[in-house]
Amino acid sequence: METAVPGNNSYSDVQFKGAKARAIPSRWTSSQYSWRESSRSLSDADHLSSFLANPEVIDSLFEIEDPGRVHQYIRQHPELFSLLLRSRGEAYWLFGPKAHVTARIEQDPEAEFAPRLLVLIRTELNAGKAINLLDDLNRRWWLSVSPASRVLLKIDVEYV
């Protein structure tokens, strides 16, 4: 069993003296583990990077068109990973479990914009209802996302 290095975490030496030696491996630094900053043992970025190394996470949540290109794009723009997770959750929440969500690279045939990742929510709802739900998604969350990220990722609906 590993023991903690004194001064290598955010707990005081008086509090949790026995527990901290058992709970915090010495290979973790204080920047990775701090009860003052987060309730998690690792930062969100560390958690997300562990998923990024595993493309099956995205494959399990989305129907992927041309997986090689999609995975490469996500590796090039890792900041999109958390947005993809959230977009899938929002699609489920607003459109219901019957909505199929696809991820693919959208290429502009007129080359007016660079290729970007398209999250397409395929729904059996009528067009008016689907557009209203997409507007709700935009108001609830998407419009608060940075413009730089919205250039790299687009969310749209398709009626099937």
Token duo for residue 133: 């739900």
Q: What is the pLDDT of residue 47?
A: 52
Ranges of residues in the chain with a pLDDT under 70 are: 1-53
Q: What is the pLDDT of residue 156?
A: 96
pTM: 0.67
Asked if residues 63 and 84 have their Cβ atoms less than 8 Å apart, the reply is: no
3-state DSSP assignment of residue 6: coil
Strands (E), 33-92: 63-64
Q: What is the pLDDT of residue 132?
A: 96
Residue with tokens 């959208």: 106
Asked if residues 104 and 84 have their Cβ atoms less than 8 Å apart, the reply is: no
Q: What is the pLDDT of residue 109?
A: 80
Q: What is the pLDDT of residue 43?
A: 52
Number of other residues whose CB lies within 10 A of the CB of residue 89 = 12
Asked if residues 70 and 104 have their Cβ atoms less than 8 Å apart, the reply is: yes
CA 104 to CA 89: how far, in whole Å? 17
Q: What is the pLDDT of residue 111?
A: 74
3-state DSSP assignment of residue 4: coil
CA 88 to CA 85: how far, in whole Å? 5
Q: What is the pLDDT of residue 27?
A: 42
Number of other residues whose CB lies within 10 A of the CB of residue 153 = 22
